[in-house]
Structure 1
C-alpha cells in the first residue's frame, strides 16, 4: 500500500480524486484506493484535504521522488498471550465496560456484566416518557442504561489521544453497524439513532461468545477479604469471580459514596456551566464564510482564559444540528447535555460552555465535588419550576444580568420543556463572570457566538467525573488487587473513544496476566 497525503480538491468528488491520485503517482487509472483521512479547510475558500491508501506497487527509488507519498503498512490489533481461565465480572455497560467485555469475549473469556439500567430499547422508552411527561426513572435515563451517557449524545468519536487503539475502536464500531466514514472523517460521529443499534449489536456479540449481561442489576456493596474483592452484592443476588472490572459512569454518585471507605479515591477538577444554542445556519456561515447546503454541518471548539479569576472556559461536546437534552438522573435535581442524530438536521447547534473548577471552589473533603454538583442541580430544578423544565436565558440577558422575559428568534430545544429565567446566580460569581467574559471573547473567533437571541440552558454540571478511583500502573486498584477501576467514572477518560480505549487496556492487562 502507498499512502499519499495532502491531496487537495475544491469538490468532494471521487472521480476527481482518483484522477489526482493517478497524476500524483504517475500511473494509469487501473488501481483501487480508499480514503484514510478527510478534512475540510475553510480558511481560504472550501478545500477538501485527503490522505489516501492506494493498492499499487511502486519501486522505492520512484516513490522517493513523489512528494507526500510513502509506503504504508497498517498494524493489525492483536493480543498474543497464553489463554488463562479467569472468571470476570464487569460492573457497568457504558463505553469502557462494553469495549472491555468485547475484547475479553473476542479472546475466549466469558464476562458476566451487570448494569443498573435497562437495555437500550427499553431505556429509550423510559427517556421518551420522561421527555413527554417529566416522569423520571432514576435507574433508566440519559445517564444510566446500555451504552452509558454516550449513547444519548452525538456519538462523537473525537479524541486527543494518539493511542494506536483508537483505530481499533473505530473498526469495532463499523463492524457493528456504524457508518464506514468514521474511519477517515476528521470529526467522526455516529449519531444517537445509529449508536443505539451499534450498542445492541456489540451486546449480542458478547453473548454469542458466552458472555452474560444482567440489566436492572445494581451493585449495592463490595464484599472484601484479604485485600481482594470476594463478591459483589446486588439487588438481584451476589456475583463472584476471579477478577472485577469497575466501569462506572460519572453519574453513579450513590455508588461513589458506597465505595469511599472501601477503595482509595481522590477529588479531581472538573468543569461546570451551561448549554449554549445558536442557529446552525449562523455557525455554518461563520465557519465556512459561504452558505452551501452540501457541506457538513459546521462545528467549533473554543477556549478562553479568564485572567481576572484564573479560570479556563471552553466549549465541549459540540452538537451540530442537535438538541439540548434533559440529562437528569436524580429527583429534584436537573442537569442538561447535548445530542444529535446522524443526519444532524436540527435547526440549532449547541455545545457546553463550561468553566474549570477545583477544590478551591467546591471544597476539600472527599466527594465535595458531588455535593457541589447536587447543590447546583437543585438550584436549576427550582428555577425551572420544579417539574424538570429547564431554566433558559437569552445570551444578551445573561451578559446584562437580567431575567429573560421573552424569547427572540432562537427557540430552545430542551424537553420536556423550559422556563424563562435568570441563570446568573446559580454559580459562584467568579464562574458566572468568567463565562460572561468568555462569550464576549469567543465571539471574536466565531462571529455570532454572542448572538443576543442565542440561548443558555442550565445546567451543564457533569462534564467529567468529580473523583478519581486510584489505580496502579497495571490498572488494578491501589487497595484491591483483583479490582480494575476504568473509564470516565473512574476519572481516566472523557468521551466514547477514550473510555473505550481505557476498557481495551484493562482487557489487555487481564488477558496478559499483568
Structure 2
C-alpha cells in the first residue's frame, strides 16, 4: 500500500473525487488503482469562507515499487506504515497465576482485554455496578438528587468516560500502534467505524454503554472474571530482608482476601479512599498539578457560526468544537494559564460528584451532539504550591471547593450558576438570561467568585475577554457559568518505574488517570495496554525464574 497525505477536497465533493485525486497525485491510469482506503479525514477551517476536507489515503496500485520510486521526492507520497498491533506475549500453557485489575474504566478495561487476549485470565474488581444499573443510579442523581456513593459518574463499569462526550483523540505519541488497537477494539464492540479515520472521533454516552457490555463479554469469553460491587480496602505488601516490597494480596470490603502478586491499579481520579490507603501502606505517591474552574455554556449555533461561518450546520462538519488557552499577565497571575477543557459540542453539563454534600460538574454529549448548548470547562492550573500540606493536600483542596459549591447551590445537589456578564462585573446573579443551563438537578443563580481562590477568579476574569476576541460572543453577558469543575485530573501520581511497577512496590502497576498517567478515554486505554504488556513481561519473567 502507498500512503497519500494532504489530499484536499471541497466539503461537498462526490465519492468518486477521492479516487480521482489519488490517480492525479500518482499520475496513473484508472485501471492501475486497485484499492483505496481512507486512513484519516480532517478539515481545515482556518479560512471560514473556504473550509475544505483533508484526507490521508492508503492505496493499492499495480507495480507499487515503480510508483513509489517515481514519487520518491514527493513529500506526501510514501509507503503505508504497518498499523497492526501485536501482542507482546502469550501465557504459558496451564499458567495458574492470574493478574488482578482494579477498576473497570477505560484503562482497566483495555488492560483486562489485552491480558485476556494473551491468555492470562485476569480478575477485574470494580467497586461500582454493571453499566446498566450504574446508569440508572446516575440518572437518579440527575433527576431526583439521590446520590449513591458507589455508583455514579465516577464509579462503576465503564469509568468516568462513560458519561462524557466520548472523545477519542489525544496528543500522546504512539510507536507501537496502541492507539489503533484501542480504536479497533471499540469498533469491534459496536462503535461507528468512522472513529478509525475521522480526525476528532467521538462516541457519546449511549453507545459507550453498549460497547462496555460487549467488551465485558469478550473478556469473560477469554477466561476473564468480573467481580462487581467489590471495593479494595487494603493492600497486603510483604517486605523482604533487603527492603524490597512486593504485592501479596488485596483485602476486600466484607472481609474477603484475594491473593495477588500482579495488580493493575486503574482506579480513576476520584478514588480518594484508595489514595489514602496507598499512602498508609507506604506506596510511593507524588502530589501533582491539576486544574479547577467552572463549566461555561453557549448556544451551539453561536459556536458553529464562529468556527464555520456560512458552513455552520454542515452535516460533514457536525457540531463545532473549540480549544482555547490564555496565559495570564495581570498582577500576581504570572505563570497562570486558563484553558478550555473537555469541550462538549451539543451536550449538557452533568452532576459528577461521588461524595455526599459536594457538587462537581462535568460535561457529556451523545453521539448526535444535538443538544442546544455547547459546554466546556474553563479552568486554571493549580500546583502543589497552591495547596501545601502533604501529598493528599490536593484532595482536601478539591473537597473544600466542592463543599462550597454544594452550599452555594442550596442543597439537593443543585449547582451554583452565574451569567458571564455578572461574573465579569463582580455582582451576584439573581436571574439568568436566554442561555438556559442544562445542569440537572438544577441551578441556583448566585455569586461564583467565593467558590474559587482569588487568583483563579482573577485569572478567569482576565481570560474570558481574551477568549471573546478569538470566538466572537464567547463573553456574551448571558452565557452561563456553573460551578465547580475540580476533577480535571488526578491530584496525585502513583509513581512507577520504567518497567511499569510502582516505584517502591513490586507487583503493583499504577495505570491510567488515577495514577496520573492519562487524561481521557483514549490515553487511558493506551496506558492500559502498555500496563498489560508490563504485567505480561513480569509474569513471564517470574515463570522463567521458577523453571530455572
The TM-score by the shorter chain falls in which range? over 0.9
Cα contact 2:110–2:525 (8 A) shared by 1: yes
Task: Give the superposed CA RMSD.
Answer: 1.4
Corresponding position of 1:63: 68
Corresponding position of 1:379: 404
1:28-47 correspondence runs (5 A): 28=30, 31-44=34-47, 45-47=50-52
- Which of 279, 289, 293 pairs up with 1:273? 293
- Rounded to whole Å, the distance in 2 between the matches of 1:157 and 1:417 is 29
The question of 1:196 aligning with 2:209 is answered yes
Corresponding position of 2:481: 456
- Which of 257, 278, 281 pairs up with 1:259? 278
The question of 1:292 aligning with 2:316 is answered no
| Structure 1 gap ranges (5+) | none
Cα contact 2:107–2:528 (8 A) shared by 1: yes
- CA deviation string 1:326-345 (max 9, x = no partner): 00111001100001000000
Cα contact 2:90–2:119 (8 A) shared by 1: no
The question of 1:141 aligning with 2:152 is answered yes
Corresponding position of 1:348: 373
Corresponding position of 1:183: 196
Corresponding position of 2:89: 81
Deviation at 1:360, TM superposition (A): 2.1
- Which of 374, 377, 391 pairs up with 1:366? 391
- Rounded to whole Å, the distance in 2 between the matches of 1:48 and 1:210 is 44
1:43-122 correspondence runs (5 A): 43-44=46-47, 45-66=50-71, 67=74, 68-81=76-89, 83-84=91-92, 85=95, 86-122=97-133
TM-score, normalization by structure 2: 0.91
Cα contact 1:392–1:420 (8 A) shared by 2: yes
Cα contact 1:82–1:512 (8 A) shared by 2: no
- Rounded to whole Å, the distance in 2 between the matches of 1:372 and 1:59 is 60
- Rounded to whole Å, the distance in 2 between the matches of 1:432 and 1:496 is 29
Q: Name the CA shift for 1:333/1:288 in 2 (closer, same or farther; >3 Å).
A: same
- Rounded to whole Å, the distance in 2 between the matches of 1:335 and 1:206 is 32
Cα contact 1:395–1:451 (8 A) shared by 2: yes
Deviation at 1:223, TM superposition (A): 1.7
Deviation at 1:63, TM superposition (A): 3.3
- Rounded to whole Å, the distance in 2 between the matches of 1:456 and 1:238 is 46
State the number of aligned residues.
514
Corresponding position of 2:418: 393
- Rounded to whole Å, the distance in 2 between the matches of 1:218 and 1:327 is 20
Cα contact 2:34–2:62 (8 A) shared by 1: no
- Rounded to whole Å, the distance in 1 between the matches of 2:438 and 2:448 is 17
Deviation at 1:307, TM superposition (A): 2.4
- Which of 209, 223, 226 pairs up with 1:213? 226
Name the SS of the counterpart of 2:435 in structure 1: coil
Deviation at 1:427, TM superposition (A): 1.0
Deviation at 1:55, TM superposition (A): 2.3
The question of 1:230 aligning with 2:248 is answered yes
- Which of 496, 505, 515 pairs up with 1:471? 496
Deviation at 1:402, TM superposition (A): 1.1
Corresponding position of 2:544: none
- Rounded to whole Å, the distance in 1 between the matches of 2:453 and 2:261 is 46
- Rounded to whole Å, the distance in 2 between the matches of 1:396 and 1:411 is 15
Deviation at 1:59, TM superposition (A): 4.3
Cα contact 1:64–1:70 (8 A) shared by 2: no
Segment drifting more, 340-349 vs 125-134: 125-134
- Rounded to whole Å, the distance in 2 between the matches of 1:466 and 1:245 is 19
The question of 1:3 aligning with 2:28 is answered no
Q: Name the CA shift for 1:136/1:12 in 2 (closer, same or farther; >3 Å).
A: farther
Name the SS of the counterpart of 1:349 in structure 2: strand
Name the SS of the counterpart of 2:148 in structure 1: coil
The question of 1:129 aligning with 2:140 is answered yes
- CA deviation string 1:467-489 (max 9, x = no partner): 01121111111221111111100
Corresponding position of 1:334: 359
- Rounded to whole Å, the distance in 1 between the matches of 2:171 and 2:81 is 23
| Structure 2 gap ranges (5+) | 240-244, 542-548
Q: 4+ runs of 1 displaced by more than 6 Å?
A: none
- CA deviation string 1:382-425 (max 9, x = no partner): 00001101111111111111111122110000001111111011
Cα contact 2:351–2:360 (8 A) shared by 1: yes
- Rounded to whole Å, the distance in 1 between the matches of 2:345 and 2:337 is 23
The question of 1:422 aligning with 2:447 is answered yes
Corresponding position of 1:19: 20
Deviation at 1:371, TM superposition (A): 0.2
Cα contact 1:271–1:355 (8 A) shared by 2: yes
- CA deviation string 1:101-124 (max 9, x = no partner): 000000101111110111100000
Cα contact 1:89–1:240 (8 A) shared by 2: no
Corresponding position of 2:263: 244
Deviation at 1:50, TM superposition (A): 0.6
